[in-house]
Structures are given as structure tokens and as C-alpha cells.
Amino acid sequence: MSQQPSSEKPISIVTGGAGFLGSHLTDLLLSRGHRVICLDNLITGNLANVAHLKDNPDYTFINHNVTEFIDIPGRVDYIWHFASPASPIDYLELPIQTLKVGALGTHKALGLARAKKARLILASTSECYGDPLVHPQPETYWGNVNPIGPRGVYDEAKRFAEAMTMAYHRYHGVETRIVRIFNTYGPRMRPKDGRVVPAFITSALKNEPITVFGDGKQTRSFCYVSDLIEGITRLMMSDFAEPVNIGNPREMTVLDFAVEIKRLCASDSKIVHKPLPVDDPKIRQPNITRARELLKWEPKVDLADGLNKTIEYFRGLITSGKL
Ligand code: NAD
Ligand code: UDP
């Protein structure tokens, strides 16, 4: 079978493409015949995530801060706007950059979409629901966010980004999509990004104490990265402009999650407790009825299978001396 000529391939821009999710998305797009241009300033990303693409003629990496004007010559078909610090530790350390990339970066990405007549998807978040008073969270819920709390820099930036995206859609007629991503995990998460999955797995593998914040009764619902990326590509190719939750509805307490990771790592770690961060949501579970009905999507990867793949990744970093 002959390959599609390069000039006829769809051209995708992935902002934040050197990060955890952006790099997995890039791999899937390349495997589906896209040319991919990554725009990333590496503020929380890592070139190692895309090192395997270095010699791929369909892949281009551009070191660029997307809060600044984005200048891309030629055709662009799809923009996947993923640039933003995403872990609570990152956005607490980078509050202004987080606000700027959510606001100014989204404005620049939408401006590019408008100029190129490209379709844009915004990587939004379950944090738009804040500490939710409705459970599980449907897309119709407006949320319970503290705008001036430490997490407000991320939550409000994403809420602004959603508002800006809908304004470009309604006022300028840009084709837009919004995905509200719930906690996602997998290989290529930064070992020290402070999120619960890398924190628990690296502690468990080193037999160091696993630190549970608060009493650990707060809940989260964890989605494996391949499930998430499949859902996001289906949403991009759909004709639905309003937000869609993508995540795994299997909910568990953070304490039970620590016990499960300890078991899968065959670890002797003790479980210790530290104070709960300010405004840490007490419950979180996506209502995925919309994704099921519109996209015929639902997660397939079992928690233990996904965690085992992720554990192997972190074990590899430890045995190769990278951690
Ligand atoms: P990540 O930190 O691994 O990736 C984010 C990438 O964006 C990094 O490579 C970083 O360098 C880049 N970036 C940040 N600011 C930039 C800027 N101004 N210009 C250019 N590049 C910039 O995080 P991730 O987990 O891959 O998250 C990706 C996106 O998905 C984010 O928008 C995040 O808000 C969203 N999201 C992720 C999750 C999750 O569970 N992983 C959940 C909800 C939403
Ligand atoms: N958490 C924890 N120990 C850690 C890191 C996180 O107990 O070392 C808890 C955190 O307080 C939250 C949950 O795990 O209740 C998920 O945290 P994460 O930072 O992964 O993302 P969030 O869902 O809060 O955005």
C-alpha cells in the first residue's frame, strides 16, 4: 500500500506537545497519518517525551511560549491546545504563567484557528467544577470554585479559556471543541510533578513512606492515558461544540488508591498522612453519559492494568538511574 503524500496529510498543531498528554496525543496522530507541529516552551514538559520522534519527517518541534503571537506558515487543519501547567504543585509554583497560558495562550491559539480556518480543541479540566456540590459531575453543572484560593489560578484560567473558546465559536464561527479531562495517568508523567500517581508509585517502588493528604477519604476517578486520548480524538472529529467530560467513572478514595498501589508494587512502604491542601476537592467522578451517547466512547483499560504499565515506566526510570 502506498503512503499518503506528505502534502496531503492533515496538519495538526499540538500546544504543550512535549508534556504527558500532548506527547501521547502526538504519537496517536502520527500513527493516524497526521503531520504534527509541537509548540512547547518546556516549562513543565520534557523533550525526552518526544525524543523518539526526532527523525520523523512528519514531526516538528518548535520551542515557543504560546502566550506570545503564534506564527505558523501554510495550512493548519487541527489545533490541539494542551499547553498549561497541570499538576497542583506546578500551578502553585507558576501561578502567573498558568493564568497567562489559560487566558493569553488560549486567545493566541484561537486567533491562529480563526486565521487558518482550523478546528481547535481546548484541553479543559474537571477543576472547572471546583469542589463539586453535584455528584457525579455532568457537563451541565456550573461548579463550585474559589476564585481567590491557591487553585483559583488554574481553575479560573480554564474557565476563562472555555468562555473564550465559546466566544470565538459563537462570534467568529470558529469550529471548536472543549474536553473536560478528569484525572488521567500513565507513562511519561513527570516523577516529581507532585500528582498522586507518580508520588505514590515512586514512593512505593523505593519503599519510602507514601504520603496521603488529609484522612485520604477524598475521592478521585482515574483514567488511563490511551482511553483518554481515544476519547479526545473522537470529540475533535465530532460536530459537538459544547464541553464533554472524558474520564473514568470508577471512583475510589485516595487512601484505597494508596493501598492498591502498594499492593501492585509489592511494597513495604508505610502510609503516612500530611495536611490536606487548601480547596482540595472532596469528591470527583465524571458523568460520561454525553461521551457515551455522542462519541460511543467509554474507558476500556482496567485500573490494575493501567497502573501496572505505569509502574513499569517508573521502575525503568529508577533502574536506569534517571530517578
Ligand atoms: P504537562 O505539564 O505534562 O504538559 C503541559 C505542557 O504544556 C508541558 O509540556 C509544558 O511545557 C507546556 N506549556 C505550559 N505552558 C506553556 C506555554 N506558555 N507555552 C508553551 N507550552 C507550554 O501536563 P499534562 O498532564 O500533559 O496536561 C496537558 C493539558 O491537559 C493541560 O492543559 C491540563 O490542564 C489538561 N489536563 C490534564 C489532566 C491530567 O490528568 N493529566 C487533567 C485535566 C486537564
Ligand atoms: N494526594 C495525596 N498525596 C500526594 C499527592 C496527592 O494524598 O502525594 C491527594 C491530593 O490531596 C488529592 C488527590 O491525591 O486529594 C489527587 O491529587 P493530584 O495532585 O493528583 O490531583 P487533583 O485531583 O487534586 O488535581
pLDDT at residue 6 greater than cutoff 90: no
CA nearest ligand 1 atom 1, residue: 19
Determine the residue type at 137: Q
What does the pLDDT read at residue 3? Answer: 60
Alpha-carbon span 26 to 17, nearest angstrom: 7
pLDDT at residue 1 greater than cutoff 50: no
1 CA distance to ligand 1 middle (Å): 37
Alpha-carbon span 68 to 63, nearest angstrom: 12
Output the ligand 1 site: residues, CB below 6 A: 15-16, 18-22, 39-45, 65-67, 82-86, 101, 105, 123, 125, 181, 183-184
- The confidence band for 7, taking pLDDT boundaries of 50, 70 and 90, is confident
Bigger pLDDT: 323 vs 82? 82
Alpha-carbon span 188 to 209, nearest angstrom: 22
Which residue, among 68, 61, 62, 100, has the nearest Cα to 84 in the 3D structure? 100
pLDDT at residue 4 greater than cutoff 70: no
Active site residue 78: no
Average pLDDT over residues 11-35: 98
Which residue, among 283, 287, 273, 181, has the nearest Cα to 227 in the 3D structure? 181
Which residue, among 259, 267, 269, has the nearest Cα to 304 in the 3D structure? 259
Mutate to test the pocket of ligand 1, among 13, 15, 44 (most ligand atoms within 8 A of CB): 44
Mean residue pLDDT across the chain = 97
| 61-89 residue pLDDT tens | 999 999 999 999 999 999 999 999 999 99
Contact 119, 236 (CB under 8 A): yes
Q: Which domains does the chain have, with CATH numbers?
A: 11-185+224-249+285-300 (3.40.50.720)
Which residue, among 111, 112, 119, has the nearest Cα to 241 in the 3D structure? 119
**Does the C-beta of 106 come closer than 6 Å to ligand 2?**
no
Which residue, among 300, 289, 292, has the nearest Cα to 136 in the 3D structure? 289
**Does the C-beta of 196 come closer than 6 Å to ligand 2?**
yes
| 209-257 residue pLDDT tens | 999 999 999 999 999 999 999 999 999 999 999 999 999 999 999 999 9
What are the backbone angles phi and psi of residue 166, rounded to the nearest 5°?
A: -65, -35
Q: Is residue 136 reached through a cis peptide bond, with omega within 30 degrees of 0 on the bond before it? A: yes
What are the backbone angles phi and psi of residue 180, rounded to the nearest 5°?
A: -95, 105
Alpha helices in 117-151 (DSSP H): none
Among 91, 154, 168, 185, the one annotated catalytic: 154
pLDDT at residue 5 greater than cutoff 90: no
Alpha-carbon span 198 to 191, nearest angstrom: 5
Q: Which helix (H) or strand (E) holds 305?
A: helix 303-319
What does the pLDDT read at residue 156? Answer: 98
What does the pLDDT read at residue 55? Answer: 97
- Coil/strand/helix, residue 323: coil
- The confidence band for 2, taking pLDDT boundaries of 50, 70 and 90, is very low
What are the backbone angles phi and psi of residue 45, rounded to the nearest 5°?
A: -90, -175
Mutate to test the pocket of ligand 2, among 153, 201, 213, 252 (most ligand atoms within 8 A of CB): 213
Contact 195, 201 (CB under 8 A): no
